[in-house]
Amino acid sequence: MLKIRNLDAGYGKLRVLKNISLHVKAGEIVTMIGANGAGKTTLLHTIIGLVRASAGAIEFQQKEHTGSCAQKIVAAGCTLVPEGRQVFASMTVEENLILGGYMLQRREGKDAVLRELQYQYDLFPVLRERREQYAGTLSGGEQQMLAMGRSLMSRPRLVMMDEPSTGLAPLIVREIFKIITRLRDEGNTVLLVEQNATAALGIADRGYVLEVGKVILQGPAADLLANSDVQRAYLGREKIG
Amino acid sequence: MTPDLFFQYLFAGVTYGAIYAIVAIGFNIIYNTTGIINFAQGEFVMLGGMIAISLHQVMPLPLAITLAVALTMVIGAAIEIIFIRWLQSPSVLRLIIITIGVSILLREAALHIWGESIRSLPYFYGNEISSISLGSVHLSPQVLWVIAACGIMVAGLSLFFKYTPTGREMRACSANRTAAILCGISTRNMVTLSFMLSAGIGAVAGCVMSPITYTQYDSGTGLAIKGFTVAILGGLGNSMAAVAAGILLGIIEAFSVSVVPLAFQDAIAITILLAILFVKPHGLFGSSVAARLKDF
């Protein structure tokens, strides 16, 4: 579904991503773990077209998308749930969701958006309760759900999520991850970027480990969880002896 | 002061206040989608008036005004497309200086096209000496046109931003630009649209006020300062507050005439602007919290 080959990207002269290659197949959860500053967010921003790639290729649904603007990539069915939620704070929950359906409306019309809205309310019942509230007044967990719902409104083929667990209580994090698993089980494809490596690898099918702009490890999530380097660096477990 | 005189001043104040408010709303719309102050806003007002005056020589007034507003909107869009659209993430300062440049450009162009002469549109209803009596107060019918135009525009804009998809998308751009891009909304088109809308609103103001205040190639500059003062006074980005602030400034100016010489009228606006910037930079009706949750 998504194929990235030898991707380089950065800001001005600063090269953040160096020769990154990865792929995501339909129906799987792929996670990308790494420390702060490893380039995880830059990678997602490059895929979605907010940051321009300086070399390499991004292929989505067998189509070349290197250098496309965000609008084209979103139209092609790839969405991003941004880091820090980024909801439209001064607008109501329902307005946020309808705006997420912008592409769906252009593709299939208003009725499709209203149907999808009900579907998102079923997936996130708390959003239905708060539909008239301003998004800025929601709690962190609710805002995360709103950001996810807003992305899903366009009925994407691939959902990318940037650190959905940041700043949330453990109980809420568990709920968010349960929803991500459910999305996969319903046939969605997810690329999940996380610092919370244990939780991310726990639900993912495959994983990549990013360090200072390079992929240093990859493989099935279970193998990475068992890998001693990963355990030492990201899971906070040191083997004694 | 007799009650009659009091009401006479009051209505004069409200009239000018409504004009300032319309200019301030133009500032607010562009500020909300781009985060910049468009210093060419006053020139849109001047252009609207001037174009309508020229067109009126060959066609009836309603048609001339409609066409003038449409043309000014096209000019507004063209300015955005030529000077702003293609810039890659420009800084706010750079954008502001561009708008100042554009304002000089438009003013000089107007000087070349229309010369220095002072012109005006005819009164929409009646003439200079006709008046409507409200109790003991005598008003020019044009005053009612100005106030009605302001009211209709404010109501129309509120409905537009609240209930239409395009209005919602423009608000989304102002609330969170990145998120709007991620929804697939073309924020560049929204910025162009906001320039069109502001230009159109400015042009309407230019037309309704022309019979009272007259129009000259440089009449936009003073108005831009007043409108900017009002936008700041109400709290940048808040159009409803701009109306209240505009009327407040208009009334203060009108009543000041009875205390200080007429020549000080403009100084009062500047003094108020400075005082607000020192004491209450978020504006009279804006709190720092609201500034964070900014909305139209």
Q: List, in order, residues 6 or more apart from A165 with CB less than 8 Å away.
A: A173, A176, A177, A194, A195, A196, A199
Q: Which helix (H) or strand (E) holds A201?
A: helix A197-203
Is A12's Cβ below 8 Å from some Cβ in B?
no
Instruction: Looking at the structure, tell me whether residues A64 and A94 fall in a common domain.
Output: no
Instruction: Looking at the structure, tell me whether residues A73 and A170 fall in a common domain.
Output: yes
- Could you tell me which chain B residue has the CA closest to the CA of A85? B179
Domain's final residue, options A136, A155, A174: A155
- Span B67-80, pLDDT tens digits: 999 999 999 999 99
CA angle B178, B184, B187 (to 5 degrees): 55
Q: What are the beta bridge partners of residue A206?
A: A30, A220
A51 touches A11 (CB < 8 A): yes
Q: What percentage of residues in chain B have a pLDDT greater than 70?
A: 96
Within-domain flag for B131:
no
Which pLDDT belongs to residue B288?
55
* pLDDT beyond 50 at B117: yes
Q: List, in order, residues 6 or more apart from B186 with CB less than 8 Å away.
A: A71
8 Å CB contact of B182 and A105: no
* pLDDT beyond 50 at B156: yes
Instruction: Looking at the structure, tell me whether residues A121 and A230 fall in a common domain.
Output: no
Domain's final residue, options A135, A155, A175: A155
* 3-state secondary structure labels for all residues of chain B: CCHHHHHHHHHHHHHHHHHHHHHHHHHHHHHHHHCCCCCCHHHHHHHHHHHHHHHHCCCCHHHHHHHHHHHHHHHHHHHHHHHHCCCCCCCHHHHHHHHHHHHHHHHHHHHHHHCCCCECCCCCCCCCCCCEEECCEEECHHHHHHHHHHHHHHHHHHHHHHHCHHHHHHHHHHHCHHHHHHCCCCHHHHHHHHHHHHHHHHHHHHHHHHHHHCECCCHHHHHHHHHHHHHHHHCCCCHHHHHHHHHHHHHHHHHHCCCCCHHHHHHHHHHHHHHHHHHCCCCCCCCHHHHHCCCC
Per-residue pLDDT of chain A (241 residues; tens, 9 = 90+): 899 999 999 888 888 999 999 999 999 999 999 888 889 999 999 999 999 899 999 999 988 988 888 899 999 999 999 999 999 998 999 999 999 999 999 999 999 999 999 999 999 999 999 999 999 999 999 999 999 999 999 999 999 999 999 889 999 999 999 999 999 999 899 999 998 888 899 999 999 999 999 999 999 999 999 888 888 887 766 555 4
Out of B172, B186, B294, whose CB is closest to A99?
B172
Instruction: Looking at the structure, tell me whether residues A57 and A20 fall in a common domain.
Output: yes
- How many other CB atoms are found less than 10 A from the CB of residue B163? 9
Tokens 């806003």 belong to B41
Within-domain flag for B168:
yes
B235 touches B286 (CB < 8 A): yes
- How many other CB atoms are found less than 10 A from the CB of residue A110? 12
Backbone angles phi, psi at A35, to 5 degrees: -80, 175
Is B251's Cβ below 8 Å from some Cβ in A?
no
Instruction: Looking at the structure, tell me whether residues A101 and A172 fall in a common domain.
Output: no
Out of B178, B184, B294, whose CB is closest to A103?
B184
Out of A48, A74, A90, whose CB is closest to B295?
A90
Which pLDDT belongs to residue A219?
93
Instruction: Looking at the structure, tell me whether residues A69 and A115 fall in a common domain.
Output: no
Out of A88, A95, A105, whose CB is closest to B179?
A88
Backbone region of residue A219 per phi and psi (left: phi > 0; alpha: psi in -120 to 50; beta: other values):
left
Within-domain flag for B73:
yes
Which pLDDT belongs to residue B263?
82
A9 touches A54 (CB < 8 A): yes
B63 touches B69 (CB < 8 A): no
Is B183's Cβ below 8 Å from some Cβ in A?
yes
Is A88's Cβ below 8 Å from some Cβ in B?
yes
Interface of A with B in 40-79 (CB under 8 A): 48, 50, 70-71, 74-75, 79
Which pLDDT belongs to residue A118?
96
8 Å CB contact of A95 and B168: yes
d(CA A134, nearest CA chain B) in Å: 10
Instruction: Looking at the structure, tell me whether residues A110 and A151 fall in a common domain.
Output: yes
Reference B72, options B44, B95, B53, B94; nearest CA is B44
Within-domain flag for B286:
yes
User: Which residue has better confidence, B177 or B130?
Assistant: B177
8 Å CB contact of A100 and B165: no
Q: Tell me, what CATH number does A225's domain have?
A: 3.40.50.300
Task: Identify the sign of the CA torsion A110, A116, A120, A126.
Answer: positive
- Mean pLDDT on B200-223: 93
Within-domain flag for B2:
no
Which pLDDT belongs to residue A241?
44
What total number of domains does chain B contain?
A: 1
Domain's final residue, options A155, A176, A202: A155
Q: What percentage of residues in chain B have a pLDDT greater than 90?
A: 59
Backbone angles phi, psi at B130, to 5 degrees: -75, 145
Which pLDDT belongs to residue A43?
94
Instruction: Looking at the structure, tell me whether residues A227 and A174 fall in a common domain.
Output: yes
Instruction: Looking at the structure, tell me whether residues A18 and A128 fall in a common domain.
Output: no
Within-domain flag for B235:
yes
- Which residue range(s) make up the domain with A15? 1-77+157-241
Q: How confident is the model at residue B286 (pLDDT cuts 50, 70, 90)?
A: low
Instruction: Looking at the structure, tell me whether residues A131 and A208 fall in a common domain.
Output: no
Local structure of A13: helix, strand or coil: coil
Rounded Cα–Cα distance for residues B162 and B237 (Å): 15
- CA contacts within 13 A on the Cβ side of A59: 14
- Mean pLDDT on B87-116: 91
Interface of A with B in 92-111 (CB under 8 A): 95, 98-100, 102-103, 105-106
Which pLDDT belongs to residue B287?
54
Classify residue A169 by its DSSP letter: -
Tokens 């955005």 belong to B80
Output the average pLDDT for chain B.
89
What total number of domains does chain A contain?
A: 2
Within-domain flag for B195:
yes
Q: Which helix (H) or strand (E) holds A55?
A: strand A53-60
Q: Tell me, what CATH number does B271's domain have?
A: 1.10.3470
- Which residue range(s) make up the domain with B150? 7-125+139-292
Interface ipTM above 0.85: yes
Instruction: Looking at the structure, tell me whether residues A97 and A210 fall in a common domain.
Output: no
Out of B176, B180, B182, whose CB is closest to A80?
B182
User: Which residue has better confidence, B154 or B36?
Assistant: B154
Instruction: Kindly report the pTM of this predicted structure.
Output: 0.87
- Mean pLDDT on B219-230: 91
* pLDDT beyond 50 at B270: yes
Q: Give the tokens for residue A31.
A: 């996670």
* pLDDT beyond 60 at B29: yes
8 Å CB contact of B182 and A82: yes
Within-domain flag for B221:
yes
Q: How confident is the model at residue B293 (pLDDT cuts 50, 70, 90)?
A: very low
Q: Which helix (H) or strand (E) holds A100?
A: helix A93-100
Largest CA distance in chain B: 61
